[in-house]
Amino acid sequence: MSFACQTTSPHQRGQDHQDIMKSTAIRFTGSLTAMPSEAPKCGDMKIAVAYRFRVEQWITGKADTEMLAVLIPCPDLKGDGFFSAGAHYRIEATNDLTQSRSYTIYNDYPDSALFWNLEIDRFVEKGK
Protein backbone atom coordinates (compact mmCIF):
# COMPACT_ATOMS: atom_id res chain seq x y z
CA MET A 1 0.00 0.00 0.00
CA SER A 2 1.37 3.43 -0.86
CA PHE A 3 0.33 6.85 0.33
CA ALA A 4 0.15 10.03 -1.71
CA CYS A 5 1.13 12.33 1.11
CA GLN A 6 4.39 14.03 1.88
CA THR A 7 5.89 13.35 5.28
CA THR A 8 7.97 16.13 6.70
CA SER A 9 9.51 17.08 9.95
CA PRO A 10 7.06 19.41 11.66
CA HIS A 11 9.96 21.64 12.61
CA GLN A 12 10.71 22.61 9.02
CA ARG A 13 7.66 24.88 8.91
CA GLY A 14 6.81 25.20 12.60
CA GLN A 15 10.07 26.89 13.51
CA ASP A 16 9.48 29.50 10.81
CA HIS A 17 6.16 30.46 12.37
CA GLN A 18 7.19 30.83 16.00
CA ASP A 19 7.21 34.61 15.59
CA ILE A 20 3.70 35.01 14.10
CA MET A 21 1.94 34.30 17.36
CA LYS A 22 1.19 36.77 20.11
CA SER A 23 0.89 33.77 22.43
CA THR A 24 1.73 30.10 22.07
CA ALA A 25 -1.90 28.96 22.17
CA ILE A 26 -4.72 29.91 19.82
CA ARG A 27 -8.42 29.09 19.77
CA PHE A 28 -10.58 29.56 16.72
CA THR A 29 -13.57 28.30 14.82
CA GLY A 30 -12.91 27.18 11.29
CA SER A 31 -13.90 24.93 8.44
CA LEU A 32 -11.93 22.00 7.10
CA THR A 33 -10.89 22.95 3.56
CA ALA A 34 -10.32 19.41 2.23
CA MET A 35 -9.55 15.93 3.42
CA PRO A 36 -5.82 15.14 3.50
CA SER A 37 -4.29 12.09 1.87
CA GLU A 38 -5.06 8.83 3.61
CA ALA A 39 -2.64 7.92 6.40
CA PRO A 40 -2.27 4.71 8.39
CA LYS A 41 -4.22 4.35 11.61
CA CYS A 42 -2.55 4.62 14.99
CA GLY A 43 -1.48 1.31 16.40
CA ASP A 44 2.13 0.20 16.53
CA MET A 45 3.10 3.71 15.36
CA LYS A 46 1.89 7.04 16.64
CA ILE A 47 0.54 8.99 13.65
CA ALA A 48 -0.28 12.71 13.39
CA VAL A 49 -1.99 14.06 10.29
CA ALA A 50 -2.11 17.69 9.18
CA TYR A 51 -5.59 19.01 8.40
CA ARG A 52 -5.96 22.45 6.83
CA PHE A 53 -8.56 24.81 8.25
CA ARG A 54 -9.83 28.20 7.13
CA VAL A 55 -10.22 30.40 10.20
CA GLU A 56 -13.71 31.85 10.50
CA GLN A 57 -13.37 33.49 13.92
CA TRP A 58 -10.50 33.97 16.35
CA ILE A 59 -11.46 33.24 19.95
CA THR A 60 -8.06 33.54 21.68
CA GLY A 61 -4.77 34.59 20.13
CA LYS A 62 -4.25 35.12 16.43
CA ALA A 63 -1.92 34.13 13.59
CA ASP A 64 -0.91 36.17 10.53
CA THR A 65 -2.80 33.85 8.20
CA GLU A 66 -6.37 32.63 7.91
CA MET A 67 -5.31 29.19 6.56
CA LEU A 68 -3.69 26.90 9.13
CA ALA A 69 -2.47 23.31 9.07
CA VAL A 70 -3.18 21.62 12.39
CA LEU A 71 -1.48 18.34 13.30
CA ILE A 72 -4.10 16.01 14.79
CA PRO A 73 -2.59 13.11 16.76
CA CYS A 74 -4.25 9.76 15.97
CA PRO A 75 -7.17 11.29 14.05
CA ASP A 76 -8.69 7.85 13.47
CA LEU A 77 -9.54 7.71 17.18
CA LYS A 78 -12.04 10.55 16.64
CA GLY A 79 -14.26 8.04 14.81
CA ASP A 80 -15.61 7.60 11.31
CA GLY A 81 -17.09 10.76 9.85
CA PHE A 82 -15.64 13.14 12.47
CA PHE A 83 -13.52 14.87 9.83
CA SER A 84 -15.38 16.06 6.75
CA ALA A 85 -14.47 18.72 4.18
CA GLY A 86 -16.57 21.82 4.78
CA ALA A 87 -17.48 20.86 8.35
CA HIS A 88 -17.02 23.37 11.15
CA TYR A 89 -14.79 22.92 14.21
CA ARG A 90 -13.68 24.66 17.38
CA ILE A 91 -9.94 24.18 17.69
CA GLU A 92 -7.35 24.94 20.33
CA ALA A 93 -3.80 24.61 19.05
CA THR A 94 -0.26 25.69 19.77
CA ASN A 95 2.76 26.56 17.69
CA ASP A 96 4.87 24.55 20.16
CA LEU A 97 5.52 21.34 18.21
CA THR A 98 7.47 19.56 20.97
CA GLN A 99 4.80 16.86 21.39
CA SER A 100 4.98 16.01 17.68
CA ARG A 101 8.53 14.65 17.98
CA SER A 102 7.33 11.18 18.96
CA TYR A 103 4.85 10.94 16.04
CA THR A 104 5.18 10.03 12.38
CA ILE A 105 3.88 13.11 10.59
CA TYR A 106 1.73 13.12 7.44
CA ASN A 107 1.56 16.66 6.11
CA ASP A 108 0.09 17.51 2.69
CA TYR A 109 0.51 21.24 3.43
CA PRO A 110 4.25 21.95 3.93
CA ASP A 111 3.79 25.62 2.97
CA SER A 112 1.09 26.31 5.56
CA ALA A 113 1.59 27.59 9.10
CA LEU A 114 1.76 24.43 11.25
CA PHE A 115 0.23 23.97 14.71
CA TRP A 116 -0.26 21.10 17.17
CA ASN A 117 -3.84 20.30 18.16
CA LEU A 118 -4.71 20.54 21.85
CA GLU A 119 -8.48 20.16 21.53
CA ILE A 120 -10.96 19.87 18.67
CA ASP A 121 -14.75 19.70 18.60
CA ARG A 122 -17.04 19.48 15.61
CA PHE A 123 -20.17 21.61 15.72
CA VAL A 124 -23.21 22.40 13.64
CA GLU A 125 -23.93 26.05 13.00
CA LYS A 126 -27.30 27.33 14.16
CA GLY A 127 -29.86 27.49 11.41
CA LYS A 128 -28.32 24.66 9.39
Q: What is the pLDDT of residues 32-76, one digit of tens each?
A: 999 999 889 998 899 999 999 999 999 999 888 999 999 999 999
Alpha-carbon distance values, 57 to 2, 28, 88, 91 (Å):
37, 6, 11, 11
Q: Catalogue all structural domains in the chain, each as residue range(s) with its CATH number.
A: 10-123 (2.40.50)
The pTM for the full model equals 0.80
pLDDT score at 43: 87
**CA 68 → CA 16, 50, 52, distances in Å?**
14, 9, 5
CA distance 100 to 47: 9
Distance between CA atoms of 128 and 115, rounded to whole angstroms?
29
What pLDDT was estimated at residue 125? Answer: 63
**Span 97-128, pLDDT tens digits:** 999 999 999 999 999 999 999 999 998 766 55
* Helices assigned H by DSSP within the chain: 10-14
